[in-house]
Amino acid sequence: MLINIYHIIADNWLLLLIGQFPNGPLGGIAATLLLSILGIGLAFPLSILVALARLSPWPVLSWPATALVYVMRGVPLLMIIFWVYFLLPLLIGRIVPGFLAMVCTLVVYEAAFLSEIVRAGIQALPKGQMDAARALGHSHLSAMRYIILPQALYNMIPSILSQFVSTIKETTLGYVINVPELTFAASQINNQLLTQPFEVFFVLASIYFAVCWTLTQLTNWLERRIAAKRAGRGASELLVVDGVAVIKPETVQEVRQ
Amino acid sequence: MIKFCDVNKWYGGYQALADINAEVKRGEVVVVCGPSGSGKSTLIRTVNRLEEIQSGELMFDGQNVHARMSGTQLNRLRSHIGFVFQSFNLFPHLSALDNIMLSPMKIKGVDRAKAHDKAMQLLDRVGLASKASAHPAQLSGGQQQRVAIARALAMEPPAMLFDEPTSALDPEMVGEVLAVMRSLANEGMTMMCVTHEMGFAREVADRVWFMDAGRIVEIATPDKFFGNPEHPRAKRFLSDLRTRH
Ligand SMILES: Nc1ncnc2c1ncn2[C@@H]1O[C@H](COP(=O)(O)OP(=O)(O)OP(=O)(O)O)[C@@H](O)[C@H]1O
Ligand SMILES: [Mg+2]
């Protein structure tokens, strides 16, 4: 069995890595990562807009944004893949390749989820930050741009990375519309061999696990670093406070008395 | 300069401000005090419209603050009113210098070099020129509050509002913040300060407003107020304050 796994990898590593590229479309783990990066990368700016719209005082903006988030949260990703793949061609009058349909789906779906992360990040900031910005005369948007978002987005980096990990796993669903990604490559191999589904899908699972585990470790590390950075500043604050307390004349007098 | 005419404010069914009639004249320093929950923060926050009012009129420098106006007009009005918070509310992702430079640059369109000079001048004035590049978390409470005052001054407001600027500070840092406020007052800044620092009020204030249950129940000079308050609630408040200190 280990021998079988070895042979599967030895014979198909290029297919698992980049699919039939350059003779065919890019596939394998390269396509999986590309899908995820495009999905999250394009969803990210969109998610900020959705979050700002949801939090905005104007119902014309907050209602559609809220509706989008609720629909995306309430409907399985597979349904949305089907909608995009089968309905989009009807609307625009031409066939949409699986890869493009999958990217579009991921962008909309992830934008909704990321926007909830962004919204939580904004709302987690102390209310005094917005008060101070408004008191200085910043408009709502100016306050968001220069004061609220820079803090919120920095705090959110780990959450965004873990959403990226979820996205990698979600790209497997592209299989149903023949997107040539990693799962698709594995199932091609399985169809060739016919007799070793356990070994093939074990290899597949291992690859996903290795990639996602690495990224999760990176997320944890970043999370600790960001927390440490806050705590580190806090510690230096204590030091300064102590320093002042020690050298202040009143304190010296108190000690003498 | 700041004039309240029959101002009333409700939070739902709860009346937080009732029939407020009072005025802060140009160059005057008014200290607002009163027991917790009496509406001091609410009152001071209506001046730059961080809180809305339900009836009455509030004039600032000849402008009706709570009149119907566009967001842009309101932002411009707010930029003319300096506000200092109990909890400092510095922007933690920016250095002390950038905290001060941000608003003049983004709101008034001052160029970077001018904003920088002005900010350094202000930091020097509050005694923190050496801390220009420090982030708020690297500063003590007293230092943070002084930067916050400098940040408000950078917009060159004709009046400054302070909401318990020293209440969140350790006792040994209160003095450094009061010193900055005192020097502002001596330069003729119009100031409205919510504070329980009696020494500061006696020395600097032109008038004391005493609030209770959403009303201003006594307006007097500091000597009169601290020496011989009229309202029974004020008498009790002062004796409580003295026993606490
Ligand atoms: N957002 C709000 N919603 C409902 N009630 C509020 C709100 N903000 C304040 N209040 C109430 O209004 C009253 C006045 O509050 P305010 O904060 O102005 O008091 P204060 O005099 O500043 O007190 P403190 O000395 O504790 O700061 C309080 O009874 C408070 O509970
Ligand atoms: Mg208060």
| Interchain CB contact of A147 with B (< 8 Å) | yes
A18 falls within a domain = yes
A251 falls within a domain = no
Q: Using CB atoms within 10 Å of the CB of residue A152, give its burial: 0 to 12 exposed, 13 to 18 middle, 19+ buried.
A: buried
Q: Which has the closest alpha carbon to B132: B174, B96, B168?
A: B96
Residues of chain B with pLDDT under 50: none
- DSSP category for residue B194: E
Question: A165-188: per-residue pLDDT in tens?
Answer: 999 999 999 999 999 999 999 999
d(CA A144, CA A123): 12
Q: How far is the CA of B164 from the centre of ligand 2 (A)?
A: 7
d(CA B59, CA B125): 30
Atom of ligand 1 nearest to the CA of B45: 18
Question: B160-199: per-residue pLDDT in tens?
Answer: 999 999 999 999 999 999 999 999 999 999 999 999 999 9
Question: B204-231: per-residue pLDDT in tens?
Answer: 999 999 999 999 999 999 999 999 999 9
d(CA B150, CA A214): 46
A19 falls within a domain = yes
A63 falls within a domain = yes
The residue whose two tokens read 């840092």 is: B173
Q: How far is the CA of B53 from the centre of ligand 1 (A)?
A: 14
Interface size A-B, in CB pairs within 8 Å, comes to 89
- Mean pLDDT on A70-81: 95
pLDDT of residue A232: 55
Residue of A nearest to B47 (CA): A135
Q: What is this structure's pTM?
A: 0.87
d(CA B118, CA A203): 64
Question: A21-50: per-residue pLDDT in tens?
Answer: 888 889 899 999 999 999 999 999 999 999
Give the number of domains in chain A.
1
Query: B138 vs A236: CB contact, 8 Å cut-off?
Result: yes
A51 falls within a domain = yes
Percent of chain A with pLDDT over 70: 89
- For chain A, helix, strand, coil in percent to 5 are 85, 0, 15
A255 falls within a domain = no
Query: B75 vs A138: CB contact, 8 Å cut-off?
Result: yes
Query: A131 vs B142: CB contact, 8 Å cut-off?
Result: no
Confidence band of A243 (pLDDT split at 50, 70, 90): very low
Instruction: Tell me the residue range of the domain where A184 lies.
Output: 2-232
Residues within 8 A of B (CB atoms), A 127-146 only? 128-129, 131-132, 134-140, 142, 146
A41 falls within a domain = yes
Residues of chain A positioned with their CB less than 8 A from the CB of B139: 237, 240
A66 falls within a domain = yes
d(CA A26, CA A182): 10
Sheet of B63-64: strand order equals: B14-24, B2-11, B55-60, B63-64
Q: What is the CATH number of the domain that holds A98?
A: 1.10.3720.10
Q: Residue B16: nearest ligand to its CA?
A: 1
